[in-house]
Structure 1
């Protein structure tokens, strides 16, 4: 009878394969340090450019990177997009081979995935499976994510911003922590698209109405007269004096009930509709003013940059 040491099992081969995948991605993973010493992982996207999880990035300044060789260098923020949880940093260039990001269209529930990150102590990894592989979706902040990918794996918070690798060692996307600790993958297609826009413009354009909104219930009789299936709308609680809502004649106290022909029931729905593609579009908002139905045309503007 052969002993395990003289006849390596298939598990040994799998174990070595996983370790080799970690070794292969190691030169592309860095530690991202914030000013309060919280750390996360970053992915060298291109020489001198690092992708990381936006939510894990503590601040826009005083960012340090620990490179794979252990040297620590400063990094500056190129741009961050909370709606897709992607941030792009600039740091010292290092020669690195181009590793193409994998197409996730063939990813299915049950596929093995290796989540790899880097901590101050060294490389870290977790092996799991794809728990859900769905189609495009919108984040709670209105960002367009090309695929909904959930992993059945436990992720250390310091590994957030690391990579999800397929069985061939290709990068499927960036691992982030979602609601209730669920591990999500921001897919490669989204990373490429958003990172390029951040590199070019420093930010992702978002639509802007210049209105503060809050959900409100509407009198059933008025809702029936307006043809609303649900007696809900969005009351205008504030109006930016320089915003598109003000220019369109919208007033505080108006209740928005339709976006073009679609009913409006939640503020979240408005965030979803105000994606990058909405900027410059002209829409018709149906409203209630003093119980009467009116409508106005509004041209969606680009959300102003936050004040320094």
Structure 2
């Protein structure tokens, strides 16, 4: 009974700061009051910019304003004017280990709080998402998320919210956007309304370099990025990059996969001229490219 009562107490306390978000058709998603007047949720659940409402723990449904969203980390930030409710107590997802117990706390409809009890499936260090965002820790849940649980609070057994749940960053199991990532991304979204990232305007596919190329190019790695598409007028096209080129170095560092590419295209790279090395027709080519700012693809459809 002690464990059961403790779990119910955690759900009750955390649930006071969990809201239902009406930002898409049919099933609402969940959100968390992260700071006074600020709600965070999973960006993929926001399908419009205007007319977004939230239902609070006391049953009130009020209008909110979209401050910004970042598809790279799947975070959206909403502002609540004139509402002063207590935020959650944030914890540190980097302390989680596989097998730790956790509670996902959601609010998806008029019935109130819903919860899912489970374990942490796997953890790791900083992880870059397939959309180019950087999470400060890799935390995978043991199972998938029920409808409406994207944006839910994930609480540890101390009742601290260690992150936000999302189903958009990995197929199958749910993922956790760590609290430290939520803090960092929220700061930038509240300040600028967007997350700035570098942009070359290329579509790529990782390929293995033939042994003869590795020897001829005098490189210590065996893979590169085949340029499969180019954005018209984008930085790479303007620099003379062609479809079929294989990118092997960017700013003097190996470009073996998408992680290497994203690592070179942080916000500080925007406007900078970077040296690139690529293979064209079996020969090494050198060029320079001025990094642009990645266009903000609005998820609101």
**TM-score over 0.5 (shorter chain):** yes
Change (3 A) 1:50 1:304: same
2:164 matched residue in structure 1: 174
Q: TM-score, normalised by structure 1?
A: 0.84
Change (3 A) 1:171 1:253: same
Measure, in 1, the Cα distance between the counterparts of 2:231 and 2:150.
Answer: 38
SS in 1 for 2:171: helix
**Is residue 96 from structure 1 mapped to residue 85 from structure 2 by the alignment?**
yes
Unaligned runs of 5+ in 1: 1-11
Greater Cα shift, 113-122 or 196-205? 113-122
How far is the alpha carbon of 1:126 from its aligned partner? Answer: 1.5
How far is the alpha carbon of 1:153 from its aligned partner? Answer: 4.6
Change (3 A) 1:106 1:305: closer
Unaligned runs of 5+ in 2: none
How far is the alpha carbon of 1:287 from its aligned partner? Answer: 1.7
Superposed, 1:1-308 pairs within 5 Å as 12-120=1-109, 121-153=111-143, 155-177=145-167, 178-214=169-205, 221-222=212-213, 224-227=215-218, 229-230=221-222, 232-235=224-227, 237-241=229-233, 243-251=234-242, 254-266=245-257, 269-306=260-297
Greater Cα shift, 151-160 or 181-190? 151-160
How far is the alpha carbon of 1:216 from its aligned partner? Answer: 6.1
How far is the alpha carbon of 1:158 from its aligned partner? Answer: 0.8
**Pair member with larger Rg:** 1
Give yes or no for contact 2:270–2:293 (8 Å, CA) kept in 1. yes
SS in 1 for 2:82: coil
Greater Cα shift, 143-152 or 271-280? 271-280
How far is the alpha carbon of 1:137 from its aligned partner? Answer: 0.8
Give yes or no for contact 2:17–2:87 (8 Å, CA) kept in 1. no
Q: TM-score, normalised by structure 2?
A: 0.86
How far is the alpha carbon of 1:298 from its aligned partner? Answer: 2.5
Give yes or no for contact 1:148–1:185 (8 Å, CA) kept in 2. yes
Change (3 A) 1:306 1:163: closer
Measure, in 1, the Cα distance between the counterparts of 2:95 and 2:275.
Answer: 39
Measure, in 2, the Cα distance between the counterparts of 1:183 and 1:210.
Answer: 30
Q: Deviations over 1:89-113 (max 9, x none)?
A: 1234322234441133432222221
Measure, in 1, the Cα distance between the counterparts of 2:120 and 2:237.
Answer: 47
SS in 2 for 1:181: coil
Count residues in correspondence: 296
Measure, in 2, the Cα distance between the counterparts of 1:184 and 1:302.
Answer: 28
Give yes or no for contact 1:35–1:62 (8 Å, CA) kept in 2. no
Change (3 A) 1:301 1:232: closer
SS in 2 for 1:198: helix
